[in-house]
Amino acid sequence: MSLNERGYEIAEGLVRRASALAAVCHDRAGVRVLDCGVGAAGGNEVGLGMARVALGGAGSVTLLPAAEASAEAAWPGCPLPTVRVTSDQAVAACLAAQYAGWKVSTDGYFAMASGPMRAAIGTEDLFDELGLRERPPVAVGLLEAARLPPDAVCHSLATAAGVPPDKLLLLVARTASPAGTLQVAARSLETAIHKLHDLGFDLGLIRGGSGSAPLPPVAADDLTAIGLTNDAILYGGSVVLEVENADTEVAEFGPAAVSRASPAFGAPFRAIFEAAGRDFYAIDPALFAPARIEFVDVATGKRHVFGGVEPAIVAASFAAAAR
């Protein structure tokens, strides 16, 4: 099955359980739009569903309570619930599906788009390298947005994905919602793989991986939520990648694959974002990486660790948002 077909199947299950998940399904020009956290209350359970859909069903996502998260070697004694992601098809799941690779910006509507529908639309240069474009019979995607998409946007997305409107399913949540916060925190593994791709690491060496990040409190507004979710990964995110015969590549790219490679490292992300005029593209790109990355060579058993989590920065960020 394609990423879109597997993700669509998971999303269909969410639609069937919408009421129990505090989500609401709408029809927009024939496209089903599941409100997971815009007008609907949503919650962690539908957020986990969104994260699984984003991976195209090619990974697992779990929410570990603090008692279990505290056993993590990367953050012993972690007092926070943690979002854990694992995949044995990590490159496809993360870069062909989960990565928020483009913006929907039309007719006054703005959203960050992710999920398997990216592989169906396939306009990003990334797909020229990955070779993972799809022509599926159905398509499914996520929109991180403050409002639900209008009819024209939904229709254009179905057209771009090459499916009839009734075969496109969109899951929507704002960042400052329980589901929106969780599905962003579930991007630790994707952040690491995307960073390695930017650095020129041979993605063919990756056999699988897992990642974790603390779950931030739900913020009162989207700007604060953007700061919290980024801090969760930049300062609390830990990733383990299984690679094969990659000692040379790991030594070359490992030091630059963690967030401390950036001179901006250490400041709360919201402060960095404000200083950049709220322009992601004006921020040092070296910052967008997990706090810690560990490479495990499945052929030799060697382990290489770079960076480390920063509990004090995460705690200060989360505490400030709670005040």
Check residues 132 and 74 and name the one with the higher pLDDT.
132
Does the pLDDT at position 91 exceed 90? yes
Question: pLDDT, tens digit, for every residue of 184-203?
Answer: 999 999 999 999 999 999 99
CB atoms within 10 A of CB 231: 28
| Residues 222/212, Cβ–Cβ less than 8 Å | no
- In percent, the amount of the chain with pLDDT more than 70 equals 98
Average pLDDT over residues 44-54: 98
Question: pLDDT, tens digit, for every residue of 193-245?
Answer: 999 999 999 999 999 999 999 999 999 999 999 999 999 999 999 999 999 99
Does the pLDDT at position 66 exceed 90? no
Residue 321: the pLDDT is 75
User: Interhelix angle for 311-322 vs 222-236, to 10°?
Assistant: 160
Domain that holds residue 189: 3-322
CB atoms within 10 A of CB 194: 20
Distances (CA, A) of 290 to 34, 232, 260, 300, 304: 30, 9, 9, 24, 15
Residue 106: the pLDDT is 84
Residue 48: the pLDDT is 98
Residue 70: the pLDDT is 65
Residue 250: the pLDDT is 96
Residue 180's contacts (CB-CB under 8 Å, 6 or more residues apart) are 36, 37, 42, 47, 144, 173, 174, 225
Average pLDDT over residues 46-65: 97
Query: Distance between terminal CA atoms of the chain?
Result: 46
Supply 32's token pair: 């089903």
Question: pLDDT, tens digit, for every residue of 275-292?
Answer: 999 888 899 999 999 999
- In percent, the amount of the chain with pLDDT more than 90 equals 89
Does the pLDDT at position 108 exceed 80? yes
| Residues 294/303, Cβ–Cβ less than 8 Å | yes
Number of domains the chain is built from = 1
Q: What is the DSSP letter of 93?
A: I
Does the pLDDT at position 322 exceed 70? no
Kindly report which listed range (34-38, 164-168, 188-192, 274-278) carries the lowest average pLDDT score. Answer: 274-278
Does the pLDDT at position 94 exceed 90? yes
Residue 21: the pLDDT is 98
Report the CATH number at residue 265: 3.30.1030.10
DSSP letters, 237-302, are -EEEEEESS-HHHHHHHGGGGSGGGSTTTTS-HHHHHHHTTT-GGGS-GGG-S-SEEEEEETTT--
Check residues 158 and 1 and name the one with the higher pLDDT.
158
Residue 67: the pLDDT is 76
**Residue 107 binned pLDDT confidence (cut-offs 50, 70, 90):** confident
**Percent helix, strand, coil in the chain (nearest 5)?**
45, 20, 35
Residue 172: the pLDDT is 98
Residue 323: the pLDDT is 53
| Residues 13/57, Cβ–Cβ less than 8 Å | no
